[in-house]
Amino acid sequence: MDNVLLEIKDLSKVYESKGVNVKALSNINLTVKKGETIGIVGESGCGKTTLGRCVVRGIDATSGEVLFHTDEGVIDFLKIKGAQMRRYRKDIQMIFQDPYASLDPRMTVFDIISEPLRYNTKMSNREIEQAVDRITDQVGLNKAYLRRYPHAFSGGQRQRIGIARSLILQPKLIVCDEAVSALDVSIQAQIINLLEDLQREYDLTYLFISHALSVVRHISNRVLVMYLGRMVELGETEDLFRNPLHPYTKALLSAVPQPDPDVTIDRIVLEGEVPNPANPPSGCPFHPRCAYATDQCRKEMPPLKEYDGRLVACWNIK
Amino acid sequence: MGLFKSKNNTHSDEKKSDKYYYASQWGLMARKFRKHKLAMGSTFVLVIFYLTAIFGNFIAPQGTEQYDGKFVNCKPTPVHYFHEGKFVGPFVYGMKTERDPVTFMAQHVEDREKICRIKFFTQGDPGGEYKWLGLFPSNLHLFEAEDGGKIFLFGTDNMGRDLFSRVILGSQISLFIPVVGMLLTVVLGLAIGSLAGYFGGWIDTVIQRLIEVVRSFPQVPLWMALSAAIPKTMKPAQVFMLMTIILSLVSWPGLARVVRSKFISVKKEDFIMAARISGAPGSKLITRHMIPSFLSYIIVDMTMSIPSLIIGETTLSFLGLGLRSPATSWGVLLQETNKLETIMFYNWKLIPMIFVFLSVLAFNFMGDGLRDAADPYK
Ligand SMILES: Nc1ncnc2c1ncn2[C@@H]1O[C@H](COP(=O)(O)OP(=O)(O)O)[C@@H](O)[C@H]1O
Ligand SMILES: [Mg+2]
C-alpha cells in the first residue's frame, strides 16, 4: 500500500437546482497509485467533470472521502481546513477543459502563472520570477510573451499557460479534465507529449478525463468507465481495450476504429439517449440501452465485482 | 521541447499589432470606445459641460445674486462683428427702451449709434466677486462689454438676471448633484448587491425582496414625498446634500440587482474556480477576480443612471420641491417657464431645457459606447 497516493471512497455528488436533485456521482471508489495515469471515460453528462472537480475541491462533494497519503499520514482532502488546507492545497491541482474560460482575461500571463505561488509560498518577487521562467520554459512558452494578456494566445498556447499554472506548485496529482479536447488534433498531440514529459520529470499522477478513447488508451495505465455517475468498469488499459467486459464499455469502444486487426470485438451500436440523471432508470442504469438486459437487470442494481483483475458492474458476467 | 516552441509561435496572428497583445482590459476597452463616434462626440460635449461648470464663475459675466432692474426680460443680445460694413471685432450695440406700438409692452432694442466692444479677461463689476472652487477669491471674468454695454447671450429673466450666467452657474448643481448621487448609489448598490450575490441564501432572499419593494414605488412621487420633507429653512448646501441622498436612495436597487446577478454568474466561471484551486482566499477572489470581471459593466450602469438623476433633480426643482432661488439649478430656471406667457413672449427662457436635453442625451450616448466596449473579449 506504500505507493498509494489517493483513495477515493464512496464519493457522491447531488446537484440541487430549482428543487430538482441530480445525482451526478454515485459511490465512486478508486485507489490511485503514485505516478500512474487513470483515464476516466464515458459519454457526455456521465459525471466525469463532477468527479474531477470534487477531487480537487473545486466543488463540494455531497458525501464520501478523498484520502490523501502524505508523509505525515493519511488525511481526508475533502475535510481539511485552515493551516492544513494551506499546506496540502497545492498538492492536488487541475487543468481545465476550456483554455479560454479558465484564464482570467484581465491578468497578464506572468500574473496568471505566478498567482498560485503568491497564495501558497512566501517567495520573494525574484524567486517567483525565476520559478515562472523555469516553468514557462518547460511547458514550451516563450518568455518574451509573459507580459502579454491571454487574448494574445491561441488555444494550444493558452493550454500551456494553464498547465504552467497548475504545475508551478509542484503538485502530486493533477486532474486533467478534457485537457486537450478543445484543441486541434495536431496541437493535442503536442500537449499530450508535454504532459507525458512532465509526468516523467516530476513523478506526477494524473486523473485523465476524456471522451477521446484513443488519447486515453495512449496515456493511461488504467481506465475507469463511467455511466450515469456510476463506475461501470475499471481495469488495466490494454486489457480493457482488448477485451471489454461490460456491454457499455463494448459499445463505447466499438465506436472507435481498432488499431489492432487481430482483435475483434462485437460491434455494438449505442442506441437511445443517456437517461436523465434526475430521474434514473430502476436497476442497472444501462439496461434500457443494453441488448443483454434481463429481468434482474431491470430490477436490481448490479454491484461492482472483480473478474480477472477487472472491476465490472454487470449481472451477466459470470 | 525546442520544436514546440518554434512551432507554436507561428500561431500568433501576425496581422494584429504587438500593442494589442500587451493591451490590458482597459486598453482594449479604450480602443473599442474610440471607434464609437457618437460616444466620443458625447464625451467631448460632456467634458466641455463639466469644464464650463467648474470654471463657471469665471465664464459667467454675472454672479447668482447680481441683477439689473432696468433690464428685465431682455431678448438675447446679438453679438456683431461688422458695423456698417466695416470690421470692428466682436461688439454689441448699446440698448434703449421702446414701447411696442401694438402691445404697448416695454422692449429693449439695439441702439445702433452706440458700439460697445467686447473685452476679454476683465475684472468684473463690484458684486461679481467669487471664490473659485470656494477657495480662491477673484473677480476675473471671461468677457465684458465696454462703455456700460450689456451682453445677455441668453437674454434675462423677470428680475433682470443674465440667463447665460444662470445656466452656467446652475449647471454646477445640475451636473454635480447627479454625479455625487451616482457615487452614493454605487456605494449602496455595490455593497448590497455583493452581499446578496456572494453569500446567497437567506441574505439574498431578504435583499431581493427589499429591492422589489423599493422598485415597486413609482419614482417621481417617491422623490416628491421625500423632498417635500426637506425643511424650507435649510441652506442650499444642505438641500444639495439631502437631494443627492434622496436621489440615490431611490436609485440604488437597479445597480444592486446588476451587481448581484454579475456575482452569481461570475461565481460559475472557470477562472474563478481555477483561482480557488490555486489557493486564493475569499477576499482575493472577490477583489482580484470577481469585481474586476464586471467593473466595466458597473461603470456602464453608473453612466446610464446619471440621466435619470439629472432629470430627477430638474423635476424636483421645477416643481419647487428641490432647490429654490437664489440657489440656481436648471430646474430652478425652468420654474419660470411654467407660465404660458413665458412661452409666448419670452421663449429664450426655455434655453436651460436645451442643456438638460443635451446632457441627458450625451450621457446616454456615452453609456452606449461604454456598453459596447465593456466586454472587449467578444
Ligand atoms: N452545476 C450543476 N448543477 C446541476 N446539474 C449539474 C451541474 N453540473 C453538472 N450537472 C449535471 O450533472 C451531470 C454530470 O455532469 P458532468 O460532470 O459535467 O459530466 P461530464 O463531464 O461527464 O460531461 C449532468 O447530468 C449535468 O447535467
Ligand atoms: Mg465534462
Residues A211 and A71 in one domain: yes
Look up residue A30 and give its three cell numbers. Answer: 478508486
Closest ligand 1 atom to A276 CA = 25
Residues A116, B21: C-beta atoms closer than 8 Å: no
Per-position DSSP letters for A230-295, written without gaps between them:
EEEEEEEHHHHHHS--SHHHHHHHHTSPPS-TT---------SPPPPTTSPPSSSTTGGG-TT--H
A182 and A63 in a single domain? The answer is yes
Whether residue A317 lies inside any domain: the answer is no
Q: Quick one: B165-374 is in which CATH superfamily?
A: MetI-like (1.10.3720.10)
| Residue A98 maps to a domain | no
Same domain, residue pair A154 and A281: no
- Gap from CA of B3 to ligand 2 centroid (Å): 31
Residue ranges near ligand 2 (ion) with Cβ within 5 Å: A 49
Whole-angstrom distance between the N-terminal and C-terminal Cα of chain A?
29
Q: What is the mean pLDDT of residues A140-144?
A: 90
| One domain, residues A257 and A279 | yes
Determine the Cα–Cα distance for residues B320 and B335; give it in Å rounded to an integer: 7
Q: Rounded to an integer, what distance in angstroms lies between the CA atom of residue A40 and that of residue A225?
A: 6
Instruction: Tell the residue nearest (CA) to atom 6 of ligand 1.
Output: A15
What whole-number distance in Å separates Cα of residue B339 and Cα of residue B353?
15
Contacts of A58 in chain B (CB under 8 A): 273, 276-277
- Do both A226 and A292 map to the same domain? yes
Which of B4, B28, B271 has the CB atom closest to A101's CB atom?
B271
Q: Closest ligand 1 atom, CA of A59?
A: 1
d(CA B244, CA B174): 11
Q: Is the CB of residue A191 less than 8 Å from the CB of residue A222? A: no
Closest ligand to the CA of A45:
1
| Residue A259 burial by Cβ neighbours in a 10 Å radius (0-12, 13-18, 19+) | exposed
The rounded distance, in Å, linking the Cα atoms of B37 and B24 is 22
pLDDT digits (tens, 9 = 90+) for A35-54: 999 999 999 889 999 999 99
The Cα of B11 is separated from the nearest Cα of chain A by a number of Å equal to: 6
Q: Collect all residues from B whose CB is shorter than 8 A from any CB in A.
A: 1, 4-5, 7-9, 11-12, 16, 20-25, 28, 269-271, 273-281, 284, 289, 292-293, 377
Q: Kindly report the CA angle at A239 between A237 and A244, in degrees rounded to 5?
A: 100
Among protein residues, the one with the nearest Cα to ligand 1's atom 14 is A47
| Total domains, chain A | 2
Bridge partner residues of A61 (DSSP): none
Residue B230: left (phi > 0), alpha (psi -120 to 50), or beta? beta
Q: Is residue A73 part of a domain?
A: yes
Q: What is the mean pLDDT of chain A?
A: 90
Q: Which residues of B touch A165 (CB under 8 A)?
A: 274, 278
How far apart CA B171 and CA B149 sit, in angstroms, is 26
Same domain, A142 and A178: no
**Best interface-test mutation with B: which of A49, A113, A115, A122 has the largest number of B CBs within 10 A?**
A115
**Closest residue to A140, CB basis, from B8, B25, B275:** B8
Chain A residues whose beta carbon lies within 8 Å of the beta carbon of residue B276: 58
Structural domain boundaries in chain B: 58-160, 165-374
Question: Do the beta carbons of residue B34 and residue B44 sit within 8 Å?
Answer: no
Q: Are B161 and B67 in contact (CB under 8 A)?
A: yes
Q: Measured between alpha carbons, how far is A249 from A256 in angstroms, rounded to an integer?
A: 11
- Nearest CA, atom 20, ligand 1: A45
Taking CA atoms, B245 is separated from B60, B128, B193, B304, B363, in Å, by: 29, 31, 18, 18, 21
Ligand 1 first shell, C-beta below 6 A? A 15, 17, 22, 24, 42, 44-50, 277
- Supply A72's cell numbers: 505525515
Q: How far apart are the first and last CA of chain B?
A: 32
Say if residue A261 is in the same domain as residue A157: no
Q: Are residues A196 and A162 in the same domain?
A: no
Q: Do B274 and A120 lie within an 8 Å CB cutoff?
A: no
Q: Which of A166, A185, A218 is the last residue of a domain?
A: A166
- Residue carrying C-alpha cell 465664464: B59
**What DSSP assignment string belongs to B303-336?**
HHHHHHHHHHHHHHHHTTSS--TTS--HHHHHHG
pLDDT (tens digit, 9 = 90+) per residue, B199-218? 888 999 999 999 999 888 88
Residue A259: the pLDDT is 61
**pLDDT given for residue A108 in this prediction:** 93
pLDDT band for A258, please (50, 70, 90 cuts). low
Instruction: State the pLDDT at residue B3.
Output: 40
For A29, residues 6+ apart whose C-beta sits below 8 A from its C-beta are A8, A9, A10, A11, A231, A304
Q: Say if the Cβ atoms of A53 and B269 lie within 8 Å.
A: no
Q: Position of cell 479558465?
A: A102
| pLDDT values of chain B reduced to their tens digit, one per residue, 378 residues | 334 444 444 444 444 567 777 788 888 888 889 999 999 999 999 999 999 999 988 888 888 777 777 788 888 888 888 888 888 888 888 887 777 777 777 777 888 888 888 888 888 777 778 888 778 888 888 888 877 778 888 888 878 888 898 999 899 888 988 888 888 888 899 889 988 988 888 999 999 999 999 888 887 787 778 777 878 777 777 887 887 888 788 888 888 998 999 888 998 899 999 999 999 988 888 888 998 888 888 888 888 888 988 888 888 888 877 777 777 888 888 887 777 777 778 888 888 999 999 999 999 999 999 988 887 776
Please answer yes or no on whether A197 and B1 come within 8 Å at the CB atom.
yes
CB distance A289 to A270 below 8 Å: yes
Distance CA A187, CA A178 (A): 14
Tell me how far apart the alpha carbons of residues B208 and B220 are, in angstroms, rounded to a whole number.
22
Q: Do A162 and B271 touch (CB under 8 A)?
A: no
Cell numbers at residue B301, please? 450602469
Whether A318 maps to a domain, the answer reads no
In angstroms, the CA A28 to CA A64 distance is 8
Angle at A13 between CA A163 and CA B206, to 5 degrees: 100
For residue A190 the three cell numbers come to 503536442
Cα separations in angstroms, A278 against A21, A29, A63: 6, 22, 18
pLDDT in tens, A194-205: 999 999 999 999
Q: Which residue segment(s) compose the domain that A55 sits in?
A: 4-91+171-312
A208 lies in some domain: yes
What stretch of H or E contains A184? none
Q: What is the CATH number of the domain that holds A76?
A: 3.40.50.300
* Helix then strand then coil, % of chain A, to nearest 5: 35, 25, 40
| Nearest chain B alpha carbon to A103 | B271
What pLDDT shows up at residue B249? 83
Q: Do B21 and A151 touch (CB under 8 A)?
A: yes
Query: A183 with A222, same domain?
Result: yes
Which residue(s) pair with B156 in the sheet?
B162
Q: Is the pLDDT of residue A265 over 60?
A: no
Residue A171 corresponds to which amino acid?
P
Strand, coil or helix: B111: strand
Whether residue A82 sits in one domain with residue A200: yes
Query: What is the distance between the alpha carbons of residues A232 and B56, in angstroms, rounded to a whole number?
Result: 78
Of the candidate ranges A16-30, A167-181, A219-233, B143-157, the one whose mean pLDDT is the lowest: B143-157
Is residue A239 a contact partner of residue A309, using CB atoms and an 8 Å limit? yes
| pLDDT for the residue B4 | 41
- Interval A126-145 mean pLDDT: 92
CA A113 – CA B74 distance, rounded (Å) = 70
In this structure, the answer to whether residues A66 and A143 fall within a common structural domain is no
Residue of chain B whose alpha carbon sits nearest to that of A141: B5
Based on the fold, state whether residues A187 and A159 are members of the same structural domain. Answer: no
| Paired residues of A33 in beta bridges | A4
| Whole-angstrom distance, CA of residue A271 vs CA of residue A127 | 56
Ordered strands of the A63-70 beta sheet: A20-33, A4-17, A63-70, A73-76
Last residue of a domain, one of A146, A166, A186: A166
* C-alpha cell read off for B324: 429654490
Number of H helices, E strands in chain B: 15, 6
